[in-house]
A and B are shown apart, each in its own frame.
Chain A
Amino acid sequence: MEQVIANGLYLGAQYALIALGLTLIFGLMNVLNFAHGQMYVLGGFITYAIYGQLGLPFPVAVLASGVSLAVIGGLMERYLFRTVIRRSHREESTMLLAAATAFFFDAVILLIFGEKQRGVPKIVKGVFHDFGIILPYDRIVVAVVAALMIFAFILFMKYSRTGRAMRALAQDRVAAQLMGIKVDRYTMIGFALGAMLAGVVGGLLVSITGVNSGIGGPISVKAFLMIMIGGAGVVGGAIAGGFILGMMESVGLTVLREYGDVTYLVIFAALMIFLAIRPNGLMGKPWG
């Protein structure tokens, strides 16, 4: 039992961080970023290259992942999404663009890093073993770092000038513009921030699960799940969704182990029923 909860929390913390980035981008620009999982993978490979190959310290590598993805995200918003949003008749067009960028990242990752599974040396050795819980120390470190980052993100959105501007933007774009908020600038920052979060999680997790070029798509699907559970575009919803999915996975993998790979089938089915009852997720704003 304790073990299941501990696993769930560990998974939940990293999931929540992934979902936060996705929901931020969605909330700000109504764009469903299909490339989110690919951004995660990219972050993982950057950390792999810097920490695993070059042998620089792990925090430096994770930082580099975050910064690179922030730059990539900012450029994507500025030169791709902004143009398409301006010129297209239908807002769904951004989904196509997002899907195309996802393919593009897949291709780039495949070309540079190949299709092999990559791992790096453990960052902390040893295993925590007490209170009926067995959890390797490195997982604890990752979970704690993730939790701290979630906390920092909330503080940032609540109290910083940039964070407040972005929240205003997510609430009502036109009103924000009338209030004198530089909409273009903060949209770009928001996209960069969302991408950065994906990159950082990717970097953190490469130390535990490793990374390979094929997992971008599945990660995106999981991230969609989380923000649907919590309600898209809402910070609290993303965090809740992340932890709920983490818990469900942890419980499912324990309870349903004998039945093979049905955990996700059950989770998906449960989600569809849940959404039928609550179309906007736990705390989402009504959509459309």
Chain B
Amino acid sequence: MTATRKLAGLAIFLLAVFVLVPALIAATGRKDLYYTLTSVALLSIASAGVWLTFYIGRINMGQGAFALMGAYVAAVLVTRYGMSFWWTLPAAGLFCALASLLIGLPILRLRGVYFAMVSLVLTEVTRLLALAVPITEGAKGITNIPLPGAISLFGITLVPDFSTMENPRIAFYYLAVTLMVIAFAAMYRLVNSRIGHICMSLQQNEELASSIGVNIVHLRLIAFAISSFLGGVSGAAFAAVTQSVYPSSFTVTDSVNFMLNCFLGGLGYVFGPMLGTLTLYFGWNLLFQTGEFQLLIYSSVMILLMLVLPNGLLSLGEGRRKG
């Protein structure tokens, strides 16, 4: 792809998410879609993190843990310490990144299914921890989290206080989409820079990578920390949107779903997790009308997709180009 085509693609994408989608929603009056799309955007950020750990060759099913952690960190900081929501976003991300360094140091040595299982267990540990420690208030969770306040710089209000808005959902939509664009732009840059190639070398052969001087332990930790940072930010933003967090806000199912988003979109494509999240989330919501058959149809479609497209949705384009 040439640089101009890439820029055109980017412009169309930005136009779509920032202008066309809101316009379409306004035209059809389906305001409920704002919440759906906000969720998709935030979940895709967490999925992007999982994707990055896949990229260094680890099956990460611990993202639910970091999303939950991020949500609690943000909730506690806002409700107990009166911190502004805008600061809690990076704070939650950094907290999760630090936690992931501590956890990652021992467990990133594990490979394949072992890492997958331990990270899955990590999700469960975090949920139990949220139930057990006092600061998270147990099963009743933290509720009534205030809406994000205003951002002003030199006396000029850049972002108004969410609680003064007629419909904060629209504001949340813009917030989530902006975060998503930033996260994926960073991921794209990362993967297409030399760092991405080194990560790729790790995925393909860790021994060879270390023989050419790559500090594989170091790099694995960095990738895991970035992944967890994204998980934390996503969780923190989610807590603000729903104004609440419970131990069950992010569970093993969510961790599995993040992984499925990556798989479905395609592990070889940076934008895979975004497409995967959108498809899975919308697919699931569309099936809501089928009532009790929702899960049955959803899982059947997923099995069929696996049989037909075992390398992800984006591999469709690949096949065409080759053929």
Contact = CB atoms under 8 A, between A and B. Distances in A.
Q: Answer whether A and B touch in the complex at a CB cut-off of 8 Å.
A: yes
Contacts of B197: none
B121 A225 contact: yes
Given A84-B307, A99-B256, A268 B128 contact: yes
Interface string B101-133: 001001101111110111011101100110110
Interface in B229-272: 252-253, 256, 259-260, 263-264, 267-268
Contact of B300 (A30, A104, A224, A260): A104
Given A80-B307, A104-B296, A287-B113, A272 B132 contact: no
Interface string B264-282: 1001100000000000000
A275 B263 contact: no
B310 A265 contact: no
A221 B121 contact: yes
Contact of A111 (B128, B260, B292): B292
- Counting chain B CB atoms within 10 Å of each CB, the highest count among A92, A262, A273 belongs to A92
B162 interface: no
Secondary structure at the B interface, as helix, strand, loop or mixed, is helix
Contacts of B120: 221, 224
Contacts of A104: 296, 299-300, 303
A229 to B, nearest CB: 11
Contact of B302 (A100, A108, A232): A100
A101 B311 CA distance: 17
Contacts of A279: 109-110, 114
Contacts of A117: none
Contacts of A88: 310-311
A101 B132 CA distance: 32
Given A107-B299, A221-B120, A89 B125 contact: no
B113 A32 contact: yes
Nearest to A260: B132
A92 B110 CA distance: 15
B114 A103 contact: no
A268 B125 contact: yes
Contact of B112 (A111, A261, A287): A287
B140 to A, nearest CB: 14
A264 B114 contact: no
B59 A95 contact: yes
A76 to B, nearest CB: 10
A87 interface: yes
A265 B247 CA distance: 14
Contacts of B103: 272
B128 A261 contact: yes
A32 B132 contact: no
B35 interface: no
Interface of A: 26, 30, 32, 34, 80, 83-84, 87-90, 92-93, 95-97, 99-101, 103-104, 106-108, 110-111, 217, 221, 224-225, 228, 232, 260-262, 264-265, 268-269, 271-273, 275-276, 279-280, 287-288
Given A88-B311, A221-B120, A272-B118, 18 more contacts: A26-B113, A80-B306, A84-B306, A87-B311, A96-B264, A96-B302, A100-B299, A103-B298, A104-B300, A106-B299, A110-B292, A217-B252, A224-B121, A225-B117, A272-B107, A272-B125, A287-B112, A288-B112
11 contacts: A26-B113, A89-B268, A90-B267, A95-B59, A96-B302, A97-B306, A100-B306, A107-B296, A111-B293, A261-B132, A271-B118
The 5 closest A-B pairs by CB, nearest first: A276-B106, A288-B111, A88-B310, A103-B299, A107-B295
